[in-house]
Chains A and B, each alone.
Chain A
C-alpha cells in the first residue's frame, strides 16, 4: 500500500509538472499584457514595469524562472493586487471554495445515491418516474441558470436566504444547491442504472434464495455492488463542481478562488492564473487518488494486495 501511494504521488507530481508547462505556454498565447487597461502609462513606462516583472525576457527564460520559483515554493506576486504574494491571495480565498465544493459534493452524491437506488428498487413505478424526471432536469438545467432562478425566487421573492455575498452558513445554501444539482442528477442516474443491473444479477437471486428479506438483499448485497461503478464518476463530478464554482462564485459574489481565477484571466495576471491552475490540478488529482483508494476498499477484486509484487 505504501509503495502504491508513493508511486501515485510520484505520478501526481509528474502530471503537475506537465500541467504547469502546458498552462504556462498556453497562457502566454493569451492576447494583451497585464497592463492593457493602463492607458495612462506611456509605452516607455509600460516597458519599464514589464521589465521589472521580467516579462520582457524570452518566454523560455520566463518559464525556467517560474518553474525555479515554484520548486522553491515561490509562486510570485499578483499583478492586480500589487505586492500581494499569490500564495497569500490563494490561501485567504481557498476556504470558501473548499467549503462550497465539499458541501456541494456531499449534497450531490449522497442524496443522488439514495434517490438512484430508490428509483431502481421501485423500478417502473411513480417513484422511479419522479426520480428520473428530477435527474433529467438536474442534468439539463445549467448551474448558472439554476443559480439565477434560486436567487430570484428564494432570495428576492421569498426572502428566505441571502441573494449573494459571503457571511455565515445561510450564504452558502443557494450556491451549494446550484453547484450540487448536476452531480446529484448524474449520481442518481448512474446509481439507478447500476442498481437495476445488480438487482437482476445471479448473486441477488441467490441472496433471495437464501431467504433474505427484500431490504436485507438490498442492504447486504445490492448497495455495495452498485456503488462500485458509482465511485468512478466521483472524479469527473469533482471536475464538474470545480469548473461550476468559477461561474457560481461570480454569480453569488463569493470571495473564492474560482472568482479570482476568472478575474486573473481577464487581467492577464499571470502568476495568479498559474497558481490557481496548480491548486485546481492538485485538488482534482487528490480527489482521483482518494477515489482509487476508496474503489479498492469497496471492490476486493481490485484491492492492492501487499503480497503480490
Chain B
C-alpha cells in the first residue's frame, strides 16, 4: 500500500513568533516528507515545535506567527502561499486533524451528528439529510455503539474515549489524504489509549490516509509509525524508520528519550531522565541546541551546528558524533542493548534473505 510518492514535502521551514519579549524562533529549518499511506511520527518534548509544524501544514498558524523561510508543498503546491479560501478548501477535506483533548475539542452546544456531518456539508455541499446518513455510517465505523440513538446526543453525554472517536469521525468523514493526529491519546487513560490507537491503525487501512502522528510518548510510536522524526528545539535532530530510531539511534537526544522510557527489560530502580530544560528559543544557543544537556557534547557542538550525517538511506542524524573525526563514545547501556538487538534483527533478516536465495536456487532445476 505504501508508495514512494511524496504527498507532502516540508522544506527548510522556519517559523518565528513575534512576542513582547522578542522573536521566538520556534521552527528553525525543518524538512521532512510524507509518503502516501505511511505514518510519520514526530517525537519531541513540549515546546520542541511539533505542533507549530503541523499548524503550518493546516494553515492554522497564530496571528503573531511569521514564516521566515521554506515551504510546505502539498502535491507540489505551497500551502504557505495559499489564499484563505484555498486553505479553507484544504482543511477538513484533504488534510484533517485530530486534537489532543477530546473533552474540549467538541462544540458543547451542537449535536454530535451535526458536528460530524459539518465537513461534508461545508466541502461537498451535501444536503443535511444525506450528510447525517453518512455521519451515522462514520459513527459506526469509528465504533460508537448504538450510533442510531446517539447521533442526536450532545458531547457531554459521551465519555472521553467516545468523544475522541467522534473527533476521529469528524476528521475522517471526507476521507482526507493526510490526517494529523496531535497527541490524540495524551488526554486519555491507558486502556482507552490502546483502543484509539487500534482504531486509527484499522481506519488507516480502510481510508488509505497518511498520518502525521505527533507525540511525546515513544511507547505509542513503536506500534503506530513507519518512520520517526525526532524534534528538539525547533529542529529535527534525527529521522529514520521505526526500527532504526528504536534500535540504532545515533543522536544523544534520542538516546536520552529512549533511556527515559521504561521497557520490559528495565531493571534498576531509577528511570534515567534528560537533565536540564530545553533552550530558550528567544535566543537559541550557538551550535547544537542540545549541547548544554548532552553529556556526550564535543567542543565543536558549542561552536557549529551539526549537519545531517547519513547512517543509512533512510536514517539521518544531526550530531557531530557521526563525523569521521569524532572520538568514539559509548552510548548508555540501554542503547547498546538496543543496538545489539538491532544487529541481531539485521542478521536474521540477512539470513532469511540468504535462505530464500538458497531455496530459490534449489528450486531451479
Q: Which residues of A contact B (CB under 8 A)?
A: 201-203, 205-214, 216, 220-221, 224-225, 228, 298-301
Q: Would you call B287 an interface residue if the criterion is a C-beta within 8 Å of the partner chain's C-beta atoms? A: no
- A7: min CB distance to chain B, Å: 23
Bound-state Cα–Cα, A224 to B84, Å: 24
CB distance from B314 to the nearest CB of A (A): 30
The residue that B104 contacts in the complex, of A203, A208, A211, A298, with Cβ under 8 A, is: A203
Q: Is the CB of A203 within 8 A of B107?
A: yes
A225 / chain B contacts, CB cutoff of 8 Å: 107-109
For B123, the chain A residues whose CB sits under 8 A away are: 211
B156 adjacent to chain A (CB < 8 Å) = yes
Does residue B158 face the partner (Cβ distance < 8 Å to A)?
no
Give the shortest distance, in Å, between B175 (CB) and chain A (any CB): 14
Give which listed residue, A203, A211, A299, contacts B88 with CB less than 8 A: A211
Q: Which B residues are CB-close (under 8 A) to A299? A: 108-109
- A299 vs B170: C-alpha distance in the bound complex, in angstroms? 22
Q: Is the CB of B91 within 8 A of A203?
A: no
**Cβ of A206 and Cβ of B106 under 8 Å apart?**
yes
Q: A221-B107, A228-B109 are in contact. Are A206 and B170 (CB under 8 A)?
A: yes
Q: Which residue of A lies closest to B153 (CB)?
A: A300
Indicate which residue in A207, A211, A220, A228 contacts B89 across the interface (CB closer than 8 Å): A211
Complex CA gap A141/B58 in Å reads 47
Bound-state Cα–Cα, A267 to B123, Å: 70
> In the bound complex, what is the Cα–Cα distance between A300 and B112 (angstroms)?
12
Please state if A201 and B122 are interface contacts (CB–CB under 8 Å): no
Partner of A211, one of B91, B101, B107: B91
Q: Would you call B300 an interface residue if the criterion is a C-beta within 8 Å of the partner chain's C-beta atoms?
A: no
Partner of A212, one of B104, B109, B118: B118
Q: Interface code B84-105, partner A: CB below 8 Å = 1, 0 otherwise? A: 1000111111001101010011
Q: Given the known inter-chain contacts A206-B170, A210-B91, please indicate yes or no for A201 contacting B109, CB distance below 8 A.
A: no
Cβ contact within 8 Å between B88 and A221: no
Q: Is the CB of B122 within 8 A of A212?
A: yes
Residues on A with beta carbons closer than 8 Å to the beta carbon of B122: 210-212, 216
Q: What is the CA–CA distance of A203 and B93 in the complex, to the nearest angstrom? A: 17
Contacting residue for A209 out of B84, B96, B106, B156, CB 8 A: B96
Q: Evaluate contact between B104 and A224: CB separation under 8 angstroms.
A: no
Q: Check B154 for interface membership: any CB of A closer than 8 A.
A: yes
Main secondary structure of the interface of A (DSSP, over half): helix
Q: How far is the CB of B248 from chain A (nearest CB, A)?
A: 36
A299 to B, closest residue via Cβ: B109
Residues of chain B within 8 A of A214, CB atoms compared:
84
The reply to whether B107 and A210 contact each other, CB–CB distance below 8 Å, is: no
Q: Which residues of B are found within 8 Å of A208, using beta-carbon distances? A: 60, 91
Asked if B281 CB lies within 8 Å of chain A CBs, one says no
Partner of B170, one of A210, A298, A301: A210
Asked if B131 is at the interface of the complex by the 8 Å CB criterion, the answer is: no
9 closest A-B pairs by beta carbon, nearest first, are A211-B92, A210-B92, A211-B91, A202-B104, A300-B154, A202-B105, A203-B107, A209-B97, A210-B119
- B58, B92, B156: which has the most chain A beta carbons within 10 Å? B92
Q: How far is the CA of A221 from the CA of B108 in the complex (A)?
A: 9
Verify A203–B156 contact, CB threshold 8 A: no
Interface presence of B110 (CB below 8 A): yes
**Inter-chain contact A202/B99, CB cutoff 8 Å:** yes
- B61-94 vs A, Cβ < 8 Å mask (1 yes, 0 no): 0000000000000000000000010001111110
Evaluate contact between A300 and B108: CB separation under 8 angstroms: yes
Chain A contacts for B89, CB-based, 8 A: 211
Most buried by A among B107, B110, B154: B107
**Cα distance A48–B46 in the bound complex, in angstroms:** 87
Residue of B nearest to A303 (CB): B154
B108 x A205 contact (CB < 8 A): no
> If A211-B88, A212-B122 touch, does A206 touch B99 (CB 8 Å cutoff)?
yes
Q: Determine how close the nearest CB of chain B comes to the CB of A217; give it in whole angstroms.
A: 10
| 15 A-B interface contacts by CB (under 8 A) | A201-B104, A203-B106, A206-B170, A209-B92, A209-B97, A209-B99, A210-B118, A210-B119, A210-B122, A211-B93, A211-B123, A220-B118, A225-B108, A299-B109, A301-B108
Chain A residue contacts of B88, Cβ below 8 A = 211-213
